[in-house]
Amino acid sequence: MTTANEHLQTKSKMIPMQDVKVIAVTGGKGGVGKTSVSFNTAIALAKVGKKVLILDADFGLANIDVMFGMRALKNLSHVVSGQCTLADVMLPGPYGIQVIPSASGMLSMTSLSQQQQVGLIHAFSDLQDTYDVLLIDTAAGISNQVLNFSYASQHVVLVVCDDPSSITDAYALMKLLKNRYQVSHFKLVVNMIRDLSSGVDVYLRIKKVAELFLDVVIELVATVPFDENLRQAIRCQKPVVDMFPSTPSCFAFNNLAKQVNSWPTPHHRAGHITFFMERLMSHQSHFDEGLYCD
């Protein structure tokens, strides 16, 4: 029987490949502002001309479409079930951003049939000549779902705040990714800080312990200040980089977008969306939740 990966490799030989930067935005603990970081970074990237696709990979409490002020009538589960194509569920956002919505309680990959796996791979591989950046907004926590999306991505961005449980959960996530998948490089965003020194302090605390006991590399890529304007923008379902372009958090997201642009994109199969899907599906047996359509 032909496997999903064999279907993927056959398809990858038939169509031209364009390199896509695949970034998982995760963090362990809920409430650290992970989705806000994904949302505003995507906007900042798009405003400088990057073609951005966001995948809502929170299959328990999907909300990236809500952040954009969108209402998703269909989602990824309908693609898996064959009711529609990936293009049918994608929602157009500002500055050309496209959003692939999830659905609360939607899916994990464990229960996908071989045919469904192949269909999902083909749906994503058809997008490979369209986007510069694929942002994966993962769920909170350290579930197998989160681990697999992080492993399959080229870059793992950990969002933390100055809270002991946030730091502990981020460490636990790094430990699992290193032990299970040998992921050894992480990029850190310290969110909701009162001042720069407190953000650097959080980074140094995590770096010291993780590099000593896990043998990983941690890079501080952004410190985002606590900002009432950001909170107001979230309530209004607007990006702070548009609503309050002179606010401190806006500067932080613009600087983060500049850094993202400088991150390397592999110029080989690892830089293709099809390769991302291959890595994801090759570890689908690790997923731990069920699938159904709303």
Residue 216 has pLDDT above 90, yes or no: yes
Burial class (CB in 10 A: 0-12, 13-18, 19+), 189: buried
pLDDT per position as a tens digit, 56-105: 888 766 678 888 888 888 888 788 777 888 888 899 999 999 999 876 65
Residue 199 has pLDDT above 60, yes or no: yes
Sign of the Cα torsion 222, 280, 143, 174 reads negative
Q: What are 242's two structure tokens?
A: 């548009």
Model pTM score: 0.85
CATH number of 4-286: 3.40.50.300
Residue 291 has pLDDT above 90, yes or no: no
| 133 touches 273 (CB < 8 A) | no
Q: What is the pLDDT of residue 104?
A: 60
Among 74-83, 221-230, 282-291, the range with the most confident prediction by mean pLDDT is 221-230
pLDDT per position as a tens digit, 232-277: 999 998 999 999 999 999 999 999 999 999 998 866 555 467 677 7
Query: Mean pLDDT of all residues in the chain?
Result: 83
Q: What is the pLDDT of residue 149?
A: 87
d(C-alpha 57, C-alpha 54), whole Å? 9
- Could you state, in order of their start, the residue ranges of all structural domains in the chain? 4-286
Give the rounded percent of residues in the chain with a pLDDT score beyond 90.
52
d(C-alpha 157, C-alpha 150), whole Å? 9
Strand, helix or coil for residue 98: strand
